[in-house]
A and B are shown apart, each in its own frame.
Chain A
Amino acid sequence: MRRRFILVFLLCLFLVLGLFAQRGELLIMMIPLLVFLGAGTLLKPKEIELTVSRSLEADHTSHGETVVVKLQATNRGSKLDEVVLLDILPARVELCEGNNRLLTTLEPGETVAWEYTLRVFRGNWRFQGLLATVGNPFGLFRKEFLIPAGKELSVRPEAKKLKRVVVRPRRTQFYTGTIPTRIGGSGIDFLGIREYQPGDSHRLINWKTMARHPDRLYSNEFEQERIASIGLIFDCRRQSYPVGNQELLLDCVSTQAAALADALISEGNRVGLLAYGDILDWTFLGSGKVHKERIIRAITNIRLNDRDVFRSLDRIPTRLFPPRSQLVVFSPLQKKDLKPLIHLQARGYQITIISPNPISFEWNDQPDTEDFRMADRILRMERKLMDRKLNRSGIHFIDWDMNVPFHRIVDRHFNRRSRPAFNLSKL
């Protein structure tokens, strides 16, 4: 420590000067410094026995909400003259009210309690514990101890409920769902009329047609409705997010991905998630409320990464998704991603890309200069070109203007009756 070093340096200086100059006064002048150093040594911090308990206002909350952290530290050891307790905060939290650092004295058995408020952002966070720094009162010696007081906090993306999301994949599952399959069978929507076959219920007989053709019987046919397997692929490659505040854009995208996953699972579909960019983190296809939780938790954990192995999209493990199933890719997209995506489409998958437009995300923060307008035009043209290339290959590309609410994008692209969702017209 700097103070101790200064003191020892001064003492040595006094000693050397006193000896060389043969001045006893200089040695006497060492006394105040020696007393100070001696007192500091006598009051040196010893081992501490502190127990800390932590309670959080909630174990899980939504992105951007505030959480009150309450801490209680009890001294089970000897008297502590000065102890600094620093609560080590997780990476993406913001102190709103109060303080996570406390200086106090603690008598044996004494308990001190304090609280502070944090604004928390998406992610699964773990509070490690408290860093207790015990120094002697003169600041000459210091010891640090890590007091465990772990607790986990899950901050989920705050997803707004989306209205019904209509998907029309090429292949559906066996189980009854909400997706019209254009195959005759049991269902609600009328599909057509066919000749009566033995075993058909009498209620299915179309009596009006029979009146016109009295020699034969005809049955009404209804459209089968099934569930689909939908794979969500979330791009977590850092280089895909060419904006100033990458984390904020990722938060926006993950929030809407959670909303879409929620809507798709609510429709009864089987949904899986692959976070592409870090280690291959996937959630197998599944349905139901528990699976919805699994998917939301996986989206909560999504982080940006720089792994070389995932620089290109051609490492997507296609075995995770059933053949000819629907894939929804959330990615701002890079130029080099077109080829792997076109290959994926050629292998029979039906791909929809929801691409948050980084230009619209950045636009509000940029100065309105000639250069910027030019750059904006070039980038928009590039994206338009990308859109055309993908559309020509049969991939449904949704250029998501970040200034438009996501539910409007969903309404426009998925819920239009006139245009079958997920590019059915291109089949």
Chain B
Amino acid sequence: MMNISYTVATVCLVLNTLVLALAHFMANAPVWAFSVIPVGLLWWYGQKRNWKGLTHVVFLIYVAQSVHGIFLGASLVLMSISLTASLLVWDLDFLHLRLQRAEHVINRDEIVQRHLKRWQNMAVLTFMLVAVALSAEFELDFVWIVLIALVLASFLGK
């Protein structure tokens, strides 16, 4: 089961890299598209070698590339998929690390299975919300922005 989480993480990483490269390619930025691949390889190698600090750095690079893609005019759907996949890989890396650090784990399979199930539901919810956000039109006024900022600040304090 441990291998399943690792396999899922690797598949998501490959998919994420391909999606991000494709989106950049479609936005007529082939140089940026190719630049995604070495970063993906670095993340994959870091996973294999258990480089703990690398995962945060590479995750941030992926997010930065997604944002950059938006500015280049890349597809928003592809970027959302890429960002969700990045989050998933980042989280599975952390799960892998937690399980490894504990050494003695009881119900290991159950932990991994539950985690993947949770992610399945979260991914579905994310894509539904993105679809709703794309189809509907919202107008954000100053009150909403202040409210969102306050909610975010409260997360830091907790």
Contacts and interface: CB of A to CB of B under 8 A. Distances in A.
Interface in B110-125: 110-111, 114-115, 118, 122, 125
B91 A138 contact: yes
A15 B152 contact: yes
A102 B104 contact: yes
A6 B106 CA distance: 30
B80 A103 contact: no
B156 A5 contact: yes
A316 B152 CA distance: 65
Given A39-B122, A81-B114, A103 B67 contact: no
B119 to A, nearest CB: 9
Contact of A28 (B80, B102, B115, B122): B80
Nearest to A31: B129
B37 interface: no
A4 to B, nearest CB: 7
Interface in B31-67: 56, 59-60, 63, 66-67
A15 B122 contact: no
Contacts, number: 120
Main secondary structure of the interface of B (DSSP, over half): helix
Interface string A109-123: 000101000000000
Contact of B84 (A19, A32, A44): A32
A23 B152 CA distance: 20
> How extensive is the interface on chain B, given as a class?
35 or more
Interface string A9-40: 01111110101010101111101110111010
Contact of A32 (B59, B126, B148): B126
B155 A8 contact: yes
Interface residues of A, number: 48
Interface string B113-152: 0110010001001100110011000001000010011001
A191 B130 CA distance: 109
B29 to A, nearest CB: 16
A13 B80 CA distance: 16
A105 interface: yes
A33 B87 contact: yes
Given A29-B83, A32-B126, A103 B155 contact: no
Interface in B71-107: 71, 76, 79-80, 83-84, 87, 91, 94-95, 98-99, 102-107
A101 interface: yes
A141 B158 contact: yes
Contact of A33 (B60, B79, B83): B83
Nearest to B130: A31
B86 to A, nearest CB: 9
B120 to A, nearest CB: 12
B12 interface: no
A47 to B, nearest CB: 16
B15 interface: no
Interface in A358-385: none
B67 A29 contact: yes
A99 to B, nearest CB: 4
A282 B32 CA distance: 77
Given A17-B67, A31-B130, A33-B87, A102 B106 contact: yes
B145 A15 contact: yes
A103 B110 contact: no
B104 A28 contact: no
A139 B87 contact: no
A2 interface: yes
A28 B87 contact: no
B70 interface: yes
A137 B115 CA distance: 7
B67 A32 contact: no
A418 interface: no
Contact of B107 (A2, A29, A105): A105
Q: 6 smallest A-B Cβ distances: which pairs?
A: A103-B102, A99-B104, A104-B106, A32-B84, A103-B105, A28-B133
10 contacts: A6-B56, A28-B80, A81-B114, A82-B111, A102-B105, A104-B106, A104-B111, A112-B106, A137-B114, A137-B118
